[in-house]
Amino acid sequence: MSRTAIRLLATLVAGLALLAVPGISATAQDSAVAPHPSHIHEGTCDDLNPQPAYPLTDVTAVSPDAPAGAVEVGNSTVDVALDELLAAPYAINVHESAENAQNYIACGNIAGPVVDGLLLIPLRAQNDSGYYGIAALAANDTGGTNVSVYIAPEATAMPAGTPVAATEAATETETVVATETMAAVAPQEIQVAIQDFAFAPQVLEIPVGTTVTWTNNDPSQHTATASDGSFDSGVLAQGGTFSFTFDTPGTYDYICSLHPNMTGQIIVTG
């Protein structure tokens, strides 16, 4: 995931307290953009059953005068328990449009810890669409699940009013950092800083056998907790560290269980 996409994801989850409840409005992309059909499918984003298991509301603008490139939203309720969705492989998939439904633009696997009744999953771009986002799932009183989906093109992430010179300098720096941290390196110990309520780097690609060490630089307590349960740092106070050696190739999503808007990903190559 690009650094711009990482900032987009952070922007989306920052407003999740208001957006995660169906019925609360949010800023959305220009209504000229076609609505994006979305569904819950059996399988994973890498091996998706093309037949939808549960339809979701289209992800679209909620206001005709919303600025182009802002967040698009879809709020739904499905007649299936959240525990049931977590018990077998399911994924949320977003399509380009009804006319081009075969073109997937964003997808996220329904997996991970449920914190305070809420499951947050990242939605990653498909087919070079440039769309990223997040989905929030919560059990409701009728035994079903409320599902809120938020996506936006990654250009949305650039803060308004940022000076051009500063933006260009930051972009160059981030490009270098992203290139250095995302490149596969020889097995060694890699550092991940927990600072300003974020993991840095947020996405890391490493070869199998590499040890990753997280260090909490924040005054607040944090954790590094894998969505699949493969590792859990426990609560880290300021200055606390946790190390884990990745001996199996795969993609490991993780969060801070105390602040689930903090997300990270480790990609382990064979």
pLDDT tens profile 182-231? 333 344 689 999 999 999 999 998 999 999 999 999 999 999 999 999 99
Closest CA to 240 of 264, 256, 218, 266: 218
Q: What is the pTM of this model?
A: 0.51
Question: pLDDT band for position 117 (50/70/90)?
Answer: confident
Q: Would you list the domain boundaries of the chain? A: 3-157, 178-269
Select from 2.60.40.420, 2.70.50.30, 3.40.50.2000, 3.90.1150.10 the CATH code of 178-269: 2.60.40.420
Average pLDDT rounded to a whole number, residues 13-35 = 44
Report the distance separating Cα 97 and Cα 109, nearest Å.
Answer: 21
pLDDT of 68 reads 66
Report the distance separating Cα 86 and Cα 128, nearest Å.
Answer: 28
Report the distance separating Cα 221 and Cα 16, nearest Å.
Answer: 21
Average pLDDT over the chain reads 78
Sheet strands side by side (includes 199-200):
199-200, 189-194, 210-216, 241-246
pLDDT tens profile 91-112? 999 999 989 889 999 999 999 8
